[in-house]
Copies of this chain bind each other. A is one copy, B any other.
Amino acid sequence: MTKRVKVAVLGATGAVGQRFIELLENHPVFQVSELVASERSASKTYGEAANWILASPMPKAARDREVRLATDDLDADVCFSAIPSGIAGKVETDLAARGYKVFSNAKDHRMDADVPLIIPEVNPEHAALVERQRTDGFIVTNGNCVGIPLTMALKPLHDKWGVERVNVVSFQAVSGAGYPGVPSLDILGNVIPYIGNEEEKVETEPLKMLGKLGSRGVVPAPIAISATCVRVPVEEGHSLAAHVQLKKKAKSEDVAALMAAWRGRPQELKLPSAPRSPLVVRFEANRPQPRRDILEGNGMAVSVGRVRADPLASVKFFLTSANTIRGAAGCSILNAELFHAEGRL
């Protein structure tokens, strides 16, 4: 094994931070060299500071590592940021200024003109945007956990037939709210028809990701999306129902076939975290289901099913995806793998 790239995980004690640590254990390209959290955790060991909530055991290497602050001098080239939105913005700007290459889950910089918002299968060419950032380091972001799988499902359709309008309704797992997150008294046997700022993100971020990189930045794709975002009593796995109007006629069988055959740059480059098929199409009437299908491609594939004609629009389908893997930490890591493979690190 060649020398691995040293990486820091920021927001390391939170739910997404934990997922980063889990996914980076034994990673062939990256090696966790720093765990960063807030004042409250700093100078404790990670084992003391973190309330580990994943089903897999806390990696030994993490357990004994001392937690650092983002303002410390970090022994790392790459920073994976799981810092809460709102706080992340300034911290990430500072890190980039100090020369770190930041791959962030936070929404703060996603819509900045010179910050790429990337899904490696969808818009790897947007990576070039970082060249416009006037800092030693840079910031790369990934989308929100609903927007990522939705955009992946739309991408091959948009390329072939043009996507015009999308009605999307989500069924979002509680892990998406972090920890402690959603109180059990609110969600047991219940659904909650509201997630703060979520619909705005779902209605805008896919347009940037499906947009074209021009000389003056990304021109958003001319698509209109309407979203309703709902929390459901599911531990992990965001699902969504999409009703899609295409610009040209397409049979639902052709839509399903195109999705199943779709491959992107990560598959071509054989990136370590790339699933064999980014979209796994199922034909059983009652699939996909979050509890049964989110582990497809180690949580990096999106499972799509019920691809069928829409009486109002062109086609409708249902999909499910691991929201803290493909929808968060895993997508960030795949972005960094892309940058590594393309010599941008």
Contact = CB atoms under 8 A, between A and B. Distances in A.
Interface of A: 15, 53-56, 165-167, 169, 171, 174-175, 179-194, 203, 224-226, 228, 230, 232-235, 239, 241, 243, 285-292, 295, 305-306, 310-313, 316, 318
Contacts of A183: 179-184
A312 B182 CA distance: 30
A288 B193 contact: yes
Contacts of A287: 193
Given A169-B241, A241-B228, A174 B185 contact: yes
Nearest to A285: B194
A150 to B, nearest CB: 14
Contacts of A228: 169, 241, 243, 306, 316, 318
Given A184-B184, A295-B55, A316-B228, A190 B290 contact: yes
Contacts of A316: 226, 228
5 contacts: A15-B185, A55-B292, A188-B234, A193-B241, A193-B289
Nearest to A52: B292
Nearest to A305: B193
A316 to B, nearest CB: 6
B295 A167 contact: no
Contact of A233 (B15, B167, B189): B189
Contacts of A175: 185
Nearest to A291: B190
A327 to B, nearest CB: 16
A230 B310 CA distance: 16
B194 A306 contact: yes
A6 to B, nearest CB: 30
A225 B292 contact: no
Given A175-B185, A288-B193, A226 B243 contact: yes
